[in-house]
Amino acid sequence: MEIFLEAKSTFYKALEEIINRAYEKGTISQKEIYDVLTKYNCNFPVIEDRVFARNGSYQKNIYVLKRHDSKTYRLRIDTKIEPYVTNLEIMWLKLIMSSRYAELFLDSSTIEKIKKLKTAYVPPIDMSLIVPKNYSKILGREDIKNIAPKLKMVLRSILEKRLLRYTYIARQGQVFKNVVGIPVKIQYSLKDDMFYIIFYSLEHKTFAKCIIQGIENMTYEEGNFDREQVLKEYELYLKNAKAKQPIIIEVMNTKNALEKAFCMFSSFEKSARYLKEKNKHEIRIYYYEFEEAEIISRILYLGKSVVVTQPQHIRENIISRVRNALKVYCDNYMV
CA distance 214 to 199: 13
- What backbone torsions phi and psi does residue 52 show, to the nearest 5 degrees? -90, 10
CA distance 141 to 111: 23
- Calculate mean pLDDT across residues 210-228: 81
CA 122 to chain CA centroid, nearest Å: 25
Amino acid sitting at position 10: T
Under the banding of pLDDT at 50, 70 and 90, the label for residue 160 is confident
Amino acid sitting at position 279: N
CA distance 77 to 169: 63
Provide the percentage of residues in the chain whose pLDDT is more than 90.
4
Per-residue pLDDT at 1: 44
CA distance 28 to 136: 56
- What backbone torsions phi and psi does residue 236 show, to the nearest 5 degrees? -65, -40
What pTM, to 2 d.p., does this model score?
Answer: 0.52
The fold adopted by the segment(s) 247-332 is Alpha-Beta Plaits (3.30.70)
Top-confidence range, 39-43, 210-214, 244-248, 318-322: 244-248
Neighbours of 315 (CB within 10 A): 15
Question: Which among 224, 157, 217, 225 has a CA at the least distance from the CA of 186?
Answer: 157
- Calculate mean pLDDT across residues 144-171: 83
Neighbours of 17 (CB within 10 A): 19
Question: Which among 149, 148, 131, 56 has a CA at the least distance from the CA of 95?
Answer: 131
DSSP E strands, 151-205: 163-169, 175-189, 194-201
- For domain 144-237, give its CATH number from 1.20.120, 1.10.260, 2.30.30, 2.60.40: 2.30.30
Per-residue pLDDT at 335: 46
Neighbours of 204 (CB within 10 A): 10
Contacts of 142 (CB under 8 A, 6+ apart): 212, 213
Q: What is the pLDDT of residues 78-123, one digit of tens each?
A: 888 877 777 777 777 877 777 777 777 777 888 888 878 776 566 6
The region of weakest confidence among 123-127, 189-193, 259-263 is 123-127
Neighbours of 65 (CB within 10 A): 22
- Calculate mean pLDDT across residues 161-186: 84
Per-residue pLDDT at 41: 81
Report the alpha-carbon angle 157-162-165, nearest 5: 85
Tell me: pLDDT of 253 over 80. Answer: no
- Calculate mean pLDDT across residues 117-138: 59
Tell me: pLDDT of 195 over 80. Answer: yes
Contacts of 219 (CB under 8 A, 6+ apart): 164, 165, 166
